[in-house]
């Protein structure tokens, strides 16, 4: 029988999406910068878009190495995307999308996600 010690779940990020000025420039791709205080699994993120298409989600560590990639078909509307990304303790992680995949799938550098007021990807991390 396995024992789980110090298991914690945190829900962070935006709870609601904005009502106006929904999308940033289609010529740029935003990112969410975050720190990890202890090893964890980034299970899901919640996104909102008006464009169906493939997105390649990337997690880049504090030294600039891509440590996680996952291609996901995202449908129009609000959707929870399962990542299941294992993360180690560290600072300045970046969660973003691949601009080349965005261009191929959507015709924009941007992932076309509804943005937050501070120009980050409006992701709810669960």
Q: What is the CATH number of the domain that holds 90?
A: 2.60.120
Q: Supply the range of the domain harboring residue 46.
A: 12-125
Does residue 60 belong to any structural domain of this protein? yes
Does residue 5 belong to any structural domain of this protein? no
Does residue 7 belong to any structural domain of this protein? no
Does residue 6 belong to any structural domain of this protein? no
Does residue 29 belong to any structural domain of this protein? yes
Does residue 83 belong to any structural domain of this protein? yes
pLDDT tens for the 126 residues of the chain, in order: 344 445 555 555 555 555 555 777 777 788 888 899 899 999 998 888 989 999 999 999 999 999 999 999 999 988 999 999 999 999 999 999 999 999 999 999 999 888 764 544 445 555
Does residue 4 belong to any structural domain of this protein? no
Residue 120: how many CB atoms within 10 A of its CB?
A: 19
Helices (H), 1-126: 99-106
What total of structural domains would you count in the chain?
1
Alpha-carbon separation of residue 52 from 14, 58, 73, 76, 102 (angstroms): 21, 18, 7, 5, 11
By CB atoms closer than 10 A (0-12, 13-18, 19+), residue 4 is exposed
pTM, two decimal places: 0.77
Does residue 38 belong to any structural domain of this protein? yes
Measured CA angle at 49 (ends 44, 54), to 5 deg: 70
């Amino acid at each position: 029988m396995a024992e789980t010690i110090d298991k914690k779940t945190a829900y962070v990020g935006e709870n609601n999406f904005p009502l106006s000025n929904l999308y940033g420039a289609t010529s740029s791709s935003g990112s969410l910068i975050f720190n990890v205080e202890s090893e964890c699994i980034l299970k899901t993120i919640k996104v909102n878009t008006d464009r169906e298409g493939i997105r390649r989600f990337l997690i880049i560590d504090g030294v600039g190495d891509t440590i996680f990639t996952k291609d996901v078909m995202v449908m129009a509307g609000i959707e929870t995307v399962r990542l299941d990304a294992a993360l180690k303790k560290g600072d300045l992680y970046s969660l973003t999308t691949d601009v080349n995949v965005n261009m191929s799938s959507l015709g924009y550098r941007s992932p076309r996600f509804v943005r937050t007021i501070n120009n980050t990807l409006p992701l709810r991390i669960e």
